[in-house]
């Protein structure tokens, strides 16, 4: 699998060191407020597991399953919520976790939807944020790493559902992306 990468951006040790820092920041910020984490599946699964185990606070966890990609590397712009009912978040302090902030479509739609359920506050935490002009304005409050506008896989991130179990994050070789020349 690792042979399919053009280059590795962050190895596992680097990712985990950064998670120690973000977890410390989150733990400090939520010391006096009860935290409810909403993780966006599937991309944030591995990030979520490693991050939450570094936050020594009582917290609640819920997951939302959404899709926007349909196997390609560009967002279709349309977001599908796979479950009908939202978690009960009225009056709670919400931290949304996602793998990557790219066009912003996913996080702005999720945020808007959660806002209708009357939470006390909402913040956003992403492992990766692409440096680019976003199609929707969303600010992440906690960001693991800023990356160039390249397609990356590993550590939960997929291409056509593959590579999520790579322990590192890397740029996928261009010739492996269908439709690229
Ligand atoms: P957005 O809605 O364009 O911000 O994209 C968010 C979702 O698209 C993420 O949660 C990922 O699942 C997927 N995505 C965006 N960029 C990448 C990438 O470089 N590699 C893998 N998945 C990505
Ligand atoms: Mg994906």
CATH number of the domain encompassing residue 75? 3.40.50.2020
Average pLDDT, rounded, for the chain: 92
Q: Give me Rg for the CA atoms of the chain.
A: 16
Ranges 23-27, 75-79, 138-142, most confident? 23-27
Is the CB of residue 43 less than 8 Å from the CB of residue 97? Answer: no
In whole angstroms, give the CA distance from residue 112 to residue 109.
5
- Alpha helix stretches (DSSP H) within 30-104: 45-52
Q: Which of 98, 99, 102, 158 is catalytic?
A: 102
Query: Is position 18 within any domain?
Result: yes
Active site residue 98: no
Place 70 in a pLDDT band, splitting at 50, 70 and 90. Answer: low
pLDDT for 108 equals: 93
Domain count for the chain, please give it.
Answer: 1
In whole angstroms, give the CA distance from residue 42 to residue 98.
9
**Choice between 80 and 99, residue whose per-residue pLDDT is larger:** 99
In whole angstroms, give the CA distance from residue 61 to residue 53.
12
Q: Which atom from ligand 1 is nearest to the alpha carbon of 138? A: 4
For 81, the domain range is: 14-26+33-147
161 Rama sector, left if φ>0, alpha if ψ -120 to 50, beta otherwise: left
With 90 as the cut, is the pLDDT of residue 74 above it? no
Span from the CA of 116 to the centroid of ligand 1 (angstroms): 24
């Amino acid at each position: 699998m690792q042979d399919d990468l053009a280059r590795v951006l962050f190895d596992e040790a680097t990712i985990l060191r950064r998670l120690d820092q973000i977890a410390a920041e989150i733990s400090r910020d939520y010391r006096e407020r009860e935290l409810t984490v909403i993780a966006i599946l599937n991309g944030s699964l591995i990030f979520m597991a490693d991050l939450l185990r570094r936050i020594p606070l009582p917290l609640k966890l819920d997951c939302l399953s959404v899709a926007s990609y349909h196997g390609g590397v560009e967002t279709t712009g349309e977001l599908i919520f796979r479950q009908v009912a939202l978690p009960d978040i009225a009056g709670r302090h919400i931290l949304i976790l996602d793998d990557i902030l790219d066009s912003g479509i996913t996080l702005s739609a999720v945020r808007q939807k959660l806002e209708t359920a009357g939470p006390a506050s909402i913040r956003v935490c992403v492992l990766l944020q692409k440096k680019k002009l976003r199609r929707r304005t969303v600010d992440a409050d906690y960001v693991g790493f800023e990356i160039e506008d390249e397609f990356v896989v590993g550590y939960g991130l997929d291409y056509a559902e593959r590579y999520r179990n790579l322990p590192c994050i890397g740029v996928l070789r261009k010739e492996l992306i269908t439709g690229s020349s």
